[in-house]
Amino acid sequence: MSGPSLLSDDEIDAMLLAQVECRWLKTARVVLGALKAWGNWENWDEDRVTLSMKALVEKGKIESAGDLTNWRFSEVRLPPARTQ
């Protein structure tokens, strides 16, 4: 599989979202899981992945706690289901 430099933004978002759960997880764990799924460690673009994580938060697809530029000290999760 291609590395993130060869994937579209939507593909990177999908790979990251596939790793996020309803409970809080370290951002590093989510990114590492996505990287393992990509299977290409050579074409890694840390800044692009961080921007994707931030965009997912801005779109409301995930929630974050902490500074997303520091993966070891931040966490992400899927937003809780909203009741009507």
Say if 13 falls within a structural domain.
yes
pLDDT digits (tens, 9 = 90+) for 26-79: 999 999 999 888 877 676 788 889 999 999 999 999 999 999 999 999 999 999
**Where does the pLDDT of residue 83 fall: very low under 50, low under 70, confident under 90, or very high at 90 and above?**
very low
Q: Which residues contact 22 (CB under 8 A, 6 or more apart)?
A: 77, 78, 80
- The reported pLDDT for the residue numbered 8 is 84
- The reported pLDDT for the residue numbered 82 is 58
Among 15, 24, 11, CA closest to 63: 24
Say if 84 falls within a structural domain.
no
Q: Which two tokens stand for residue 65?
A: 């706690």
Q: Which residues contact 10 (CB under 8 A, 6 or more apart)?
A: none
Say if 83 falls within a structural domain.
no
Say if 40 falls within a structural domain.
yes
Say if 65 falls within a structural domain.
yes
Structurally, the chain folds into a number of domains equal to 1
- The reported pLDDT for the residue numbered 31 is 93
Q: Which two tokens stand for residue 29?
A: 């764990």
Say if 82 falls within a structural domain.
no
